[in-house]
Structure 1
């Protein structure tokens, strides 16, 4: 560590100033009260403690003025802020100033891939889609069949599948709805769309669709008229017609046992990485998320998009305040306005529930140094790199456009990732600063740690440490290239830490909306 004078730290030795005109820097170590720090504006003495990953004021900001980070406003000062102050909830509030939205004014021509076309080893389905896994799914039409579905899947846990090395497992996808919904309502349509999205997912080679028999969403509605690949094996059962729970478990196990030898004959084959669909999500974010893992993932996403692949950004409440950066990248005004329409819906939805979008960040986010939703969103959109915004989709809608697209999902991680997978994501990258333990079967999830301290504490739950960026031992580009290579390896069958723990069955949580009668 270098210092300009004994006992005085140079700002780069203890904090990151992300833009030259920013009002705050992000600390890279705990700074106790009395610490002397030298900036371009002179020496400052910290009047109080500033924790690692939190914001340190580097210039004076009068009360009522905007505080800038990433070159953007992250809120308004609620009290006079002096150089050396800790900037957080006690002196920083929401900035409700209307943002100016432009459409298509910042378009980026991504550099074309160099060299031979990159490939991964995937399962090519008869409809041309390429899966990264070969699962059997037990999909439930109603919560009443959830326990039975789990009993069936449990019969194939552990060593029972050892004889079928090319089958990744049997997963029960259960939920808390399916009856009591108003037919044709937004909530009913959304649930059906989600379940049908999973049914057609290329990571499923076989399906057992299971219902009770008297629900509002019947079993047949989940597969009839669905453009399933011809080589997807499909069976249906209802508990009432089969003779009860025990009889249904026996029948379900028998049907899956008949599928296993067929699916075990399928083999991975080379496919261009343009066939990959990457889901982008973050959870348990901290002050480093927008500096390390998110921009590194954005770099990897850009490389995939440049190769013709698809990348899905989501979590609408967590782009609020940064949407003006996305509309500038929209391929058309219609695409940009669709994003704004979804944000307007969210503002009305939150208000109807007695809240607002600036209720976010969560307590964990705040403990990690994030103060306002504006700050969180500005870091979150970094996951999308620099690619143009090609399309905007509703929750669980099939993603058909290539390039970087947006899906309207809640910020709650399992619900968001469920929608992304229903839309077709075959690999998900999940960035976390506090430490998430999410899985998303049948899609593998790559966990990206934003800081070294958490990575070392939760090594068995993380796939890659992006904290090396803030440690100064790797660049965003270097880590982004590592993420890119890890995506290809995982798509080709490399097992992620969440897969080692068989996570992802309980994290299947469709977004529930609408009246229940």
Structure 2
């Protein structure tokens, strides 16, 4: 790879700066010398020819923008001279031919997982405690404090020492370490085969639309059915829109037979009666859950969620294509991968349509995309408003530029299924899942659709995690990985510097996934207890 600039596709008319380019510098793109006419920051784009207003801006071999004023060759592409534009797409039949990657080195590989009775395999073993409605959030937190302290899952807060030092400093004293912290650090877990109890809270369940209540029940059912979950405790108030009846209907559709503890406050009476019953029945479930043990499982049991957040101009060049390589390997091995974030597929539609295995899947994908975009437009937004200020600052000027890079996470495999939000992934191959681009809402949806590992690329850095599915944070560039080592698990910046190819980076990442899936390595999000859970309130969220 050229260490100063890059052409992503032979038909592109803009180049990408891999490092800061200054006025007067010469770069060679496809054997053509380009004189840089002004400062072009790393990750940003520059003109390979002269443009007049109305000309298409081409990246990744497709339209990602339109010139709004004249741009001379060698000048920077900015929001002052281009605007969002995508190429029109059509539903056309055609036979997509996929050249699957060589998987000989992976066929006999295994990970240490938890086999479930329904043939799913977990990469972790959790008990889940969740509320049907926000009214029960406080009771969930009471249970969390009691269980985590009693069972050895609590961790000392590293910032508590800092605060106590400040307090005692007023008296000229110094705080070092409390007895409670010593006890917590030396405490052994009561249930060694249980990876933890995960406690969810949310702001939904009542007061909204019936559609939101139904969607919440579908999401919670997906979490209970998830392969990383052994069983669940559900707290209900009793009068909310998100009824326990609806939850049980959703679980029945998934053929979920896991242990389920349901306690309802209006039926039990006092808070003490509710909590006492929940503790007793949950403890019995934990005893059963702890009987599970890890055992070798083939890689086709991996269900990989594909996500990005805090993206930058290198996302579509390093980290996202690395995920694409992993996705293709998993698909070739017979596993499932799930590509989410529909606002970040705007501009990549034709490629995805062409890869759908049936016309029905292509129609469903287009219907979900157009319905979502129209809903956004009705409230004065739209997919074109998706890039955040951080995205724009680091080179993702239009939603189409961002989307064409984001779609690289899905590799090149055919699309075997298209899922609406809360639909559960069951079909081997690459699945498309309708979620927002919002990081936490999307990762929440990926786990709800069965992803037992989530790969999350970032160029700017984000601490996002998930309560039940390990989130592996993949950096697009070495500078950020070095700056934020407490949140980054894997660095693909070596592709930018030429130390790795997409193939070698993807292979290394799959090795790392196996370690995480086997419980031998904890992700940074798990270590920092970044257990983020935000259901999508199906109005508009981009």
TM-score computed with the length of structure 1 as normaliser: 0.92
Superposition deviation, residue 151 in structure 1: 2.0
Partner in structure 2 of residue 443 of structure 1: 469
Q: Deviation per CA, 1:49-84, whole angstroms, max 9, x where unpaired?
A: 211111122222222111111122211111111122
Partner in structure 1 of residue 536 of structure 2: 511
Q: Deviation per CA, 1:20-44, whole angstroms, max 9, x where unpaired?
A: 3322221122223444445544451
Residue pair 1:419, 1:510 contacting (<8 A) in 2 also: yes
- Distance in 1, matches of 2:518 and 2:476, equals 25
Partner in structure 2 of residue 7 of structure 1: none
Partner in structure 2 of residue 286 of structure 1: 312
Q: Does 1:264 align with 2:290?
A: yes
Residue pair 1:103, 1:330 contacting (<8 A) in 2 also: no
| Paired residue total | 500
CA pair 38-487 structure 1, distance change in 2 beyond 3 A: closer
Superposition deviation, residue 378 in structure 1: 0.7
CA pair 336-43 structure 1, distance change in 2 beyond 3 A: closer
Question: What secondary structure sits across from 1:156 in the alignment?
Answer: helix
Residues 45-124 of structure 1 mapped to structure 2, 5 A cutoff: 45-47=36-38, 49-111=39-101, 113-114=103-104, 116-124=107-115
- Distance in 1, matches of 2:119 and 2:347, equals 39
TM-score computed with the length of structure 2 as normaliser: 0.88
Greater Cα shift, 387-396 or 189-198: 189-198
CA pair 128-74 structure 1, distance change in 2 beyond 3 A: same
Residue pair 1:136, 1:205 contacting (<8 A) in 2 also: yes
Q: Does 1:156 align with 2:132?
A: no
Q: Deviation per CA, 1:79-113, whole angstroms, max 9, x where unpaired?
A: 11112211121111122552344344433141463
- Distance in 2, matches of 1:281 and 1:441, equals 16
Residue pair 1:187, 1:512 contacting (<8 A) in 2 also: yes
CA pair 58-514 structure 1, distance change in 2 beyond 3 A: closer
Question: What secondary structure sits across from 2:486 in the alignment?
Answer: helix
Question: What secondary structure sits across from 1:459 in the alignment?
Answer: coil
Residue pair 1:285, 1:434 contacting (<8 A) in 2 also: yes
CA pair 157-50 structure 1, distance change in 2 beyond 3 A: farther
- Distance in 1, matches of 2:420 and 2:68, equals 37
Question: What secondary structure sits across from 1:123 in the alignment?
Answer: strand
Identify which of 209, 225, 232 aligns with 1:200: 225
- Distance in 2, matches of 1:93 and 1:359, equals 11
Partner in structure 1 of residue 124 of structure 2: 133
Q: Does 1:372 align with 2:398?
A: yes
Unaligned runs of 5+ in 1: 1-10
Q: Deviation per CA, 1:425-466, whole angstroms, max 9, x where unpaired?
A: 111101111111111121111110011111111111011001
Unaligned runs of 5+ in 2: 154-188
Identify which of 481, 501, 510 aligns with 1:475: 501
Q: CA RMSD in A?
A: 2.1
Q: Deviation per CA, 1:110-139, whole angstroms, max 9, x where unpaired?
A: 146316432211111112111111111112
Identify which of 335, 342, 357 aligns with 1:316: 342
